[in-house]
Amino acid sequence: MDRIRIVGGNHLEGRIPISGAKNAALPLMIASLLTDETLTLENVPHLADVEQLTRILGNHGVDYSVNGRRPSQHEGYSRTINFSARNIVDTTAPYELVSKMRASFWVIGPLLARMGEAKVSLPGGCAIGTRPVDLFIEGLQALGAEIDVDSGYILASARNRLTGNRYVFPKVSVGATHVLMMAAALARGETVLENAAREPEVVNLAECLVAMGARIEGAGTSTITIEGVDSLSGACHKVIPDRIETGTYAMAVAMTGGDVVLEGARPDLLQGALDVIAQTGAEIIPVNSGIRVRRNGAGIAPVDVVTEPFPGFPTDLQAQFMGLMTKASGKSKITETIFENRFMHVQELARLGAHITLAGQTAIVEGVSKLKGAQVMATDLRASVSLVIAGLAAEGETVVNRVYHLDRGFERLEEKLSGCGAQIERLAS
């Protein structure tokens, strides 16, 4: 199993290209199930999750091809991929595939809308209600789906086509918003989704569906209206730049000091997070090619944050921000309101010398003057990169184990950081 070795202490100087957003690419890929024509997606990141979803879609009969890369483009960076679901050969998404990636559960919406049936494993074998799978089910039932649960599978049917309806999400859910928007695109009549997620990835999916012939208004607001159509066509659509990757590298610069341009980044996709990073003492400067981040000389100021749905501070940047706050000149509070048990990185940051105490869903971080390198273990995608941020500023050597988590969501992370002066390398197993 690969590891990443970091020797901390170097400033970051240079340019980092921001990849296509994983959280946008996955639902866009799943949208290919809605049409028998080709859906071409540009700026698709080269990530383990993308490769896994490609295999899952292939199980349903989706063919794909990758366009040739530009001569100046490094091997492995974002690509253009064509997806064709002309013939859906299987409407079952088995446990052995769905259990490997939660987002693959989202195929239930397009399969049900286009084929009238779907049999999809509960993700990870979790029970209804323990995580918000219930929102998917309630929403699809509101559109007329008949749903049963049997032996860990959701059995959904809509023999006479889904029917538009009004559905109010009891809580904001990005995944359920994706699924119901896709399902409603082929439903009969009008669907109104209230308390819908407002994230940029939802907007990106809506724009793609509209390019395919869907009638959708209000994406990016809490009320989305979809007028169902009989069929959707193919289209060509571009994945938005990854706002979580953007925020992560901005925090890496704030942590180490330096001056880096994040090429292709869009400030509008994470302005709330950029405002928080600026409060820590880093300069955030929009430029023609993206965002310039620099911190030279000044210390890191402590800042309190609460994770919130967009446009608030993203839960997917919480771990990285905690890594940054470990060296702040004072005490900060980080409150997680989106997911339970998302503080698993605390114990690993403590191995580097961080002072963090937990009080329910709030972490109290007392900044220290220095961190010291150590062996640490990645517990999940975002937690793993928080350890990288801390390691970049720690004295001596830090080795991050189980970096397959990083490969799920960060394209060529060690190459991008080493290109800006970080002493970081992958150690092959």
For 227-264, the pLDDT digits (tens) are 999 999 999 999 999 999 999 999 999 999 999 999 99
Interatomic CA distance for residues 350 and 89, integer angstroms: 50
CB atoms within 10 A of CB 219: 25
Q: Binding site for phosphoenolpyruvate: which residues?
A: 22-23
For 157-183, the pLDDT digits (tens) are 998 999 999 999 999 999 999 999 999
For 38-75, the pLDDT digits (tens) are 999 999 999 999 999 999 999 999 999 998 654 444 54
For 124-156, the pLDDT digits (tens) are 533 333 456 899 999 999 999 999 999 999 999
Average pLDDT value for residue range 384-405? 95
Taking phi over 0 as left and psi of -120 to 50 as alpha, with beta for the rest, 197 belongs to beta
Interatomic CA distance for residues 408 and 52, integer angstroms: 9
The domains found in the chain, sorted by start residue, are 3-19+241-427 (3.65.10.10), 22-238 (3.65.10.10)
Model-level pTM? Answer: 0.95
Q: Annotated active-site positions, please?
A: 126
The secondary structure of residue 73, as a DSSP letter, is S
CA 120 to chain centre: 22
Question: CB-based contacts of 409: which residues, under 8 Å, 6+ apart?
Answer: 22, 47, 49, 244, 245, 381, 382, 385
Q: Sign of the CA dihedral 197, 203, 207, 209?
A: negative
Q: Which of 337, 22, 26 is nearest to 179 (CA)?
A: 26
Q: Which of 88, 98, 101, 93 is nearest to 155 (CA)?
A: 93
Interatomic CA distance for residues 147 and 108, integer angstroms: 11
Interatomic CA distance for residues 377 and 389, integer angstroms: 14
Interatomic CA distance for residues 324 and 358, integer angstroms: 17
152, 183, 333, 361 from 94: Cα distances, Å? 10, 20, 41, 34
Q: Are 336 and 342 in contact (CB under 8 A)?
A: yes
Q: Binding site: which residues?
A: 22-23, 102, 131-135, 171-174, 316, 338
Give 290's pLDDT tier (boundaries 50, 70, 90). very high
> Which residue(s) pair with 358 in the sheet?
363
pLDDT value of residue 132: 60
Q: Over pLDDT 70: what percentage of the chain?
A: 96
Q: Binding site for UDP-N-acetyl-alpha-D-glucosamine: which residues?
A: 102, 131-135, 171-174, 316, 338
For 92-128, the pLDDT digits (tens) are 999 998 888 889 999 999 999 999 999 999 885 333 3
Interatomic CA distance for residues 324 and 329, integer angstroms: 11
Interatomic CA distance for residues 308 and 172, integer angstroms: 10
- The overall average pLDDT reported for the chain is 94
